[in-house]
Amino acid sequence: MTQKIRMLLYSDGSEVGRLALALGQRIAKAMADTVDILSIASIPDEEDVSIQAVKAIADELRANDISVAIYRRPGAMGEELLEQTDATDYDLIVISSRGRRGIKRLLAGSRACTILGTVATSVLVAKGRERRGISHILACSAGGPASKETIRFAARVAHALGASVTLLHVMSQVALEESAQGADLEAEAEELMEREAREGIHLEDMLEILHNERVEAQALVRHGLVVEEIVAEAKKGHFDMLVIGAHTTPNIGGLLFSDLSQQIVLAANRPVLIVHQD
């Protein structure tokens, strides 16, 4: 039996907050044995909507033998979430992202990015339209050892939800090793694996992790800039969720917009799961 996880769901009574709750509920029913729900709303009408939705979801989760605790607090999302995660160890946090556009986004970023820079756990950011289910996941591998943690978590989620996975590796300016053939930089996934190029061996290792969890999976390689290629494939493939590793800048807390994970969160129009690397 797959080990169950502890989750934290965030609710603020907004429309995107409702989407995050619904997504978190779906994953919790498949994977969790303990769920905490943090309800924060500064607008009275949103607070009423939030607590009603929270109670309904809590009742349904409890009916599925999941332990649920509800926390109602005033204050800012970032501050309250950080306080909650400091007090309790979670395997996954589910939040919403209202996002910002133009210069406001560049100056202040989205609130989701603020959370990504402060918590040391995996975070699922709910974005885009409401989805009836999670049936196809795009899991992105950076090519290094840390990717194993990302793909293991993606495999657990996919197995629990009965989803298939496309494993994506972007061949950027350089290959994984200096001695790689120039042709490898243009090759497709199957060709890389047949040649036993280092990228091909890496893809085979990641596919083995997915297959060991009994997840239907295929490998895919794209060529170009990492963020652009990931977002393009996500839109092209009609995926229900993206899974990426938490790429951070050492000693800065991951707050820079140059970090790949935050760029992808800002650019994507569907849920993004950012897997924390221990």
In this prediction, residue 106 carries a pLDDT of: 40
Average pLDDT by stretches of 10, the chain with 278 residues: 85 81 94 92 60 89 95 72 85 78 44 68 87 91 84 96 95 55 67 85 93 95 89 88 76 47 84 86
Is the Cβ–Cβ distance between 128 and 158 less than 8 Å?
no
In this prediction, residue 45 carries a pLDDT of: 56
In this prediction, residue 254 carries a pLDDT of: 41
pTM: 0.85
Ordered by where they begin, the domains of the chain are 5-126 (3.40.50.620), 136-272 (3.40.50.620)
